[in-house]
Structure 1
Amino acid sequence: MNTDGFVRWQDLTSPEIRALVPRDPVVVLPLAAIEQHGPHLPLSTDLDIGLGLLDAAAEHLPEGLSAVVLPPVAIATSMEHTSFPGTLSLEPETALAQIRQLGAAVAGAGFRRLLFCNSHGGNTQLMDLAGLRLRRDHGLLVVKCSYFRLGLPDDVDLPAGELRHGYHGGALETAMMLHLAPERVRMEHRAHRVSIGARLEEEMRFLGPEGPASFSWMTQDLHRDGVVGNALLADAALGSRLVRHYGTAIATVIRETAAFPLDLLRPDTQ
């Protein structure tokens, strides 16, 4: 069994899992979604991007660093997309219980470092709650990482408004899909779909779909097609740069998770 780089949890035997514990590896749980991404991108977009970025991260892990990748949580909470056919969504309580129970199984096997590697914005609150419960109940180090919070390459030249508002089916997601799975992009249905957030940005000081004062929204509130951003700006070359950037950044997060001093997590004082 080669334990450098990524190994898939489901490919191992039970004794091999036990043998990995003394190496103190990072266990990675990919979190994604199966949800509508408009007429031009498949329902699997978040899952495809999340797994593609992990593949890219594997190329940048230093020799001797091992990480065990769990089967992805492909279906979580996509409540904001349920007005559109094809979206699969669990109630938040169900999704939270699923993530917590997976984390508890990881802790029960003896592992101490768990990384949530997320590619769906609707999972951020689930990660916060599940991570805190797993820290409290099992003493796990739980690191929460969403790729879209890891910045952008210096050579990405997109309008500032696209970067602020085109976060669902816009240039960035479309570009990565054109790199990772171009055969699944319906090129003829790409368009520039302007988010209501762009209008509110001109009319309001604080209030918008995202930001310091945000309102709860369904995706049709942002645009009738349920996607926002200018997919016409996307190409595979941009997608390649994005995947390389995010893959490198995720590899750094894995490396830092492996290096985190566990004695900084203090035991319960009660």
Structure 2
Amino acid sequence: MPTFRPLPPSRRAVLTGCTLLGFGILTLQHAWPNAWPNSWPAPAVQRIAMAEMTWVEVRQALDQGYTTALVPSGGLEQNGPYLAIAKHDSIVAWTARCIAEGLGHTLIAPVVSYVPQGDFDPPTGNLVFPGTLGVSEEAYAGTLEGIARSLKGQGFRTILFIADHGGSLAPQQRVAARLDRAWAPQGVRVLSVDDYYVAGNRAQTLWLEAQGETAATIGGHAGLADHASLMATAPERVDFDRAPPPLLARLGLVGDGSSGDPRRATAERGRALLGLQVEAALAQIRRFMTPKS
């Protein structure tokens, strides 16, 4: 084993001074991170998902004009016997990246998984199925507001809420409208990107009908579009070999939580359907961000 040799007194004095200087620098960085951006060269932005970045990289991205933040919301709910509970999370994580890349100079906040799912006692909607996890509209709205306030304080100028779950739209709209009114005079804008869900879903239905599908084969919740979309974004979370449980007998429920004809779904169809949602979202965002003459 190598032997430890103490440094001579002169070297120890130098080392101690450097160490103290280092502690001072770290303290300054911790206390005033926003005052520290110019100490590193600013490389090209390599990542846009904030959860994968360091605070230094986020600061550098802001300095390079990445002042738009996308806040995607998913949801943890039953999706029938073939789709994993995190369907919404998987889909919106994929579409959020496509939207951010389409906009440019946009970072993506982590997906908000806990969203309104109905009443708790007695349970309604998807909450009657095991595995669905929801929060109240107030809790969800408070989460969105906290995220938006965090982003605003860091220097983001445009904050975009995108929900993949229909039950999230109303509270998302209220939060976005209130914050946009309050912050617009400061040059900070907040938008609920409703067209991602509303216009996007309508475009998906029309596209499937043009492919020869009917209302019966398309379905609604956990229907053909949901299965196809997840096959395109997270195929490991779709498994048609899973045996549907006898929910009618075991839980007193009608059906298994899915709709339409899921087996008509393909990943190719999923990519086309997701593209329609992405384009609907981009169109609304670009209208919002275009200065009015």
TM-score (normalizing by structure 2): 0.67
Distance (whole Å) between structure 2 residues aligned to residue 26 and residue 246 of structure 1: 19
Name 1:181's counterpart in structure 2: 234
Deviation at 1:166, TM superposition (A): 2.0
Report the residue type matching 2:81 in the other structure. P
Aligned-partner residue type, residue 152 of structure 1: A
Distance in structure 1 (CA, Å) of the matches to 2:75 and 2:290: 29
Residues 1:66 and 2:81 are matched in the alignment: no
CA distance in 2, matches of 1:253, 1:117: 11
Where does 1:1-270 land on structure 2 (aligned, <5 Å)? 1-3=43-45, 7-10=48-51, 11-13=53-55, 16-17=58-59, 20=62, 23=65, 25-58=67-100, 60-61=102-103, 65-79=104-118, 80-139=125-184, 140-146=188-194, 147-149=196-198, 150=200, 151-152=202-203, 156=208, 157-162=211-216, 166-188=219-241, 223-257=254-288, 259-261=289-291
Structure that is richer in helix per residue: 2
| CA displacement 1:148-175 (0-9 Å, x = unmatched) | 3224367532534258x72210000001
Distance 1:234 1:15 in 2: 39
SS, match of residue 7 in structure 1:
coil
- 1:34 deviates by 1.0
Q: Deviation of residue 85 (structure 1)?
A: 0.7
Q: 2: distance between equivalents of 1:229 and 1:180?
A: 20
Residues 145 and 85 of structure 1, relative CA distance in 2, 3 Å threshold: same
Task: Say whether the 8 Å CA contact 2:70–2:96 is kept in structure 1.
Answer: no
Query: Structure 1 residues 136 and 230, CA, compared in 2 at 3 Å: closer, same or farther?
Result: same
1:228 deviates by 2.5
SS at match of 1:27: strand
Aligned in 2, Cα 1:74/1:2: closer, same or farther, shift over 3 Å? farther
Structure 2 letter corresponding to 1:144: S
Whichever residue aligns with residue 70 of structure 1, its letter is A
Identity %: 24
SS of the aligned residue for 1:177 comes to helix
Alignment correspondent of 1:206: none
Classify the secondary structure of the residue corresponding to 2:48.
strand
Q: Report the Cα distance in structure 2 between the residues aligned to 1:179 and 1:131, rounded to whole angstroms.
A: 30
Q: Distance in 2 between matches of 1:15 and 1:51?
A: 20
Does the Cα contact within 8 Å between 2:96 and 2:108 map onto a contact in 1?
no
Structure 1 residues 26-85: Cα deviation after superposition (integer angstroms, max 9, x where no partner): 210011101111111100101111112123335544xxx300111111111112311111
The structural deviation recorded for 1:185 is 1.2
C-alpha distance in 2 between matches for 1:130 and 1:28: 15
Aligned to 2:26: none
Q: State the AA in 2 paired with 1:66.
A: H
Which structure ranks higher in relative contact order (CA pairs < 8 Å, sequence separation ≥ 6)? 1
Letter in 2 for 1:159: E
RMSD of the alignment, in Å? 3.0
Deviations 1:96-120 (A, max 9, x none): 1111111111222232211112111
Change (3 A) 1:238 1:23: same
CA distance in 1 between counterparts of 2:226 and 2:243 reads: 12
* Partners of 2:234 and 2:282 in 1: CA distance: 22
- Aligned residue for 1:138, secondary structure, equals helix
